[in-house]
Amino acid sequence: MNIISGFSKLTKLEKINYLVENFLEGSRFSKEKIKSFWHDNALEQKVFDDFSENTITNFYAPYGVVPNFLLNGKIHCIPMVIEESSVVAASAKAAKFWLDRGGFKASVVSTIKVGQVHFIWKGESAQLYSFFNEVKSELIESVSPLVQNMKKRGGGLLSLELKDCTDLEEGYYQFHGEFETCDAMGANFINSVLEAIGKKWQEFISLNNSFEQEQRDVQIVMCILSNYTPKCLVKAWVECDINELNDSGLGMEPSEFANKFARAVRIAQKDVGRAVTHNKGIFNGIDAVVLATGNDFRAIEACGHAYAARDGQYRSLSNCSIENGKFKFEIEIPLALGTVGGLTSLHPMSKISLDMLGNPNARELMMITAALGLAQNFGAVRSLVTTGIQKGHMKMHLMNILNHLEANDQERELARKEFETQVISFNSVRDFIAGLRNYQ
């Protein structure tokens, strides 16, 4: 067994040696190959290494852009980091489609973030509430040194409520804090404030003489922000008269397209099997922007999916309506994004993304991201109800197979022509290229 102690203390080269000797011997991946993915600038490489732990090299992902994206009357070029073929193309096509039809619109509903102190206290709930009300302002005041900078920027701790959760777990209570973190995602700020509140609360309870001795003990289970931020909400939409949906690429009349599209979205509202795939398409777009701007896509995904199930059934995050001859397609989604602090200001590529977007504030980035998610969803559903998804996918799939086979330009061109009419699979393309190579 290749158990090693003190791995994290090894230098990067020692770590690579250990891997090559113990796990990659005889594989394609030599020390040099692993090192070949290092940044040529040592200082830049150090920045990447320091983001995480036990780093040995970099994992590359394509960085693409969607041009001509009209949002609230302004043209954007939106960066996307995604490895899946056809996603950027679908967004770009949707952006182009809506460019001539008024573009995308978006507005932020609210920007409240949430944090919780989970604790266990055994006693009469009414007594706890009355004690909390007595000390609440002092408790909030105790964190003012931590909050003052955020307050100067217009944010801070907005409210703190005690919640009785004893029906979920014996003696279980929560402090539910609402925060405004302005342009920061705010995780560190929220967690620091929560931990300070937890400590102070413990102190207050231990010193409260009106409680019996055994009630002067509170067990703080955990203090942590909640990634469920249904009040950090943004809306984006596109709309036009049905007859404006006229487009030769649809292969059908505008009203037929509108009805087919709306029905597909209704199905995603009602059937969980379809809803998950439909929302996955939305996150193809959203995650790609979130990654490109150095935000936390796991938090965004987790929250989005919980929001999609907020009424007890998992549903589509987007909606489509046809009313009085108007087609409207919209999305409402919680997006707790930041444009300062964390990776947003450290990762060299997220800095490029933010510059490209005109250095948006968090609210602007929420709107851009939601609109791109909607564009992506429009592109996917449009393909599904018209040509089918495989047509576009297969073109990109062919390119990936040709890359895998290291096809040259001439082989690519011949393959592209051949597979305009033939079914694309790895084997069929491999055989076609092998045929060309044998023939030469």
Residues known to be catalytic:
84, 280, 296, 393
Size of the site for ligand MEV (CB under 6 A): 10
Question: Residues 286, 369: contact at Cβ < 8 Å?
Answer: yes
Q: What is d(CA 78, CA 369) in angstroms, rounded to the nearest whole number?
A: 9
Q: How far apart are CA 264 and CA 280, in angstroms?
A: 15
Please, what is the minimum distance in Å from the beta carbon of residue 96 to ligand MEV?
18
Residues with Cβ < 8 Å from 422, sequence gap 6 or more?
428
Q: Determine which residue in the list 76, 93, 278, 315 makes contact with ligand MEV, applying CB under 6 A.
A: 278
Question: Could you tell me how far CA 424 lies from the centroid of its own chain?
Answer: 32
DSSP states along 151-192: HHTT-EEEEEEEEE-TTTSTTEEEEEEEEE-TTB--HHHHHH
Q: How far is the CB of 90 from ligand MEV (least distance, A)?
A: 8
Question: For 234, which DSSP code?
Answer: E
Measured from the CB atom, the residue of 284 and 350 that comes closer to ligand MEV is 284
At 154, list the tokens.
């217009």
Residue 84 binding ligand MEV, by CB under 6 A: yes
CA atoms of 295 and 107, how far apart (whole Å) = 20
Residues 374-433 that bind ligand MEV (CB under 6 A): 380-381, 384, 389
CB 335 within 8 A of CB 363: no
Closest to ligand MEV by CB, 237 or 283: 283
CB of 318 to ligand MEV, least distance (A): 10
Residue placing its CB nearer to ligand MEV in the complex, 362 or 424: 424
Cα distances from 113 to residues 154, 186, 200, in angstroms, run 14, 8, 22
Q: Which of residues 142-201 bind ligand MEV (CB under 6 A)?
A: none
Smallest distance, Å, CB 381 to ligand MEV? 6
> In this complex, which beta carbon is closest to ligand MEV, that of residue 334 or of residue 392?
392
| CB of residue 274 to ligand MEV, shortest distance in Å | 8
In the complex, least distance from residue 1 CB atom to ligand MEV, rounded to whole angstroms: 39
Verify binding: residue 277, ligand MEV, rule CB under 6 A.
Answer: yes
State the residue number with the nearest CB to ligand MEV: 281
Nearest to 63 by CA among 351, 327, 428: 351
Contact between 240 and ligand MEV by CB under 6 A: the answer reads: no
Please pick, from the candidates 79, 115, 281, 392, the single residue that binds ligand MEV as defined by CB under 6 A: 281
Q: Which is nearer to ligand MEV, 135 or 267 (CB)?
A: 267
- Alpha carbon distance 76, 356 (integer Å): 8
Binding to ligand MEV, residues 47-66 (CB under 6 A): none
Residue burial 84-104, b: 16+ Cβ < 10 Å; e: rest: ebbbbbbbbbbbebbeebebb
CA distance readout (Å), 272 to 167, 267, 275: 29, 9, 5
Choose which of 280, 363, 395, 412 interacts with ligand MEV (CB under 6 A): 280
Binding piece for ligand MEV, criterion CB under 6 A, among 101-109, 140-148, 205-213, 275-283: 275-283
**Residue 83 engages ligand MEV in binding (rule: CB under 6 A):** no
Q: Which is nearer to ligand MEV, 146 or 389 (CB)?
A: 389
Rounded to a whole number of angstroms, the minimum distance from the CB of residue 423 to ligand MEV is 19
Cβ 384 to ligand MEV, closest distance in Å?
A: 6
Quote the DSSP letter at residue 84: S
CB of 78 to ligand MEV, least distance (A): 18
Q: What is the DSSP string of 296-332?
A: -HHHHHHHHHHHHTTTSS---SEEEEEETTEEEEEEE
**284 forms part of the interface with ligand MEV (CB under 6 A):** yes
Q: Could you please report the per-residue DSSP string of 24-41?
A: -TTSS--HHHHHTTS-SS
- 8 Å CB contact between 234 and 370: yes
In this structure, are residues 285 and 87 in contact, taking their beta carbons and an 8 Å threshold?
yes
Of the candidate spans 52-60, 222-230, 278-286, 355-363, the one that interacts with ligand MEV by CB under 6 A turns out to be 278-286
* C-beta closer to ligand MEV: residue 115 or 379: 379
Q: Which residue lies nearer to ligand MEV by CB, 279 or 295?
A: 279
Q: Which one, 189 or 314, has the nearer CB to ligand MEV?
A: 314
For ligand MEV, the binding residues (CB under 6 A) are: 84, 277-278, 280-281, 284, 380-381, 384, 389
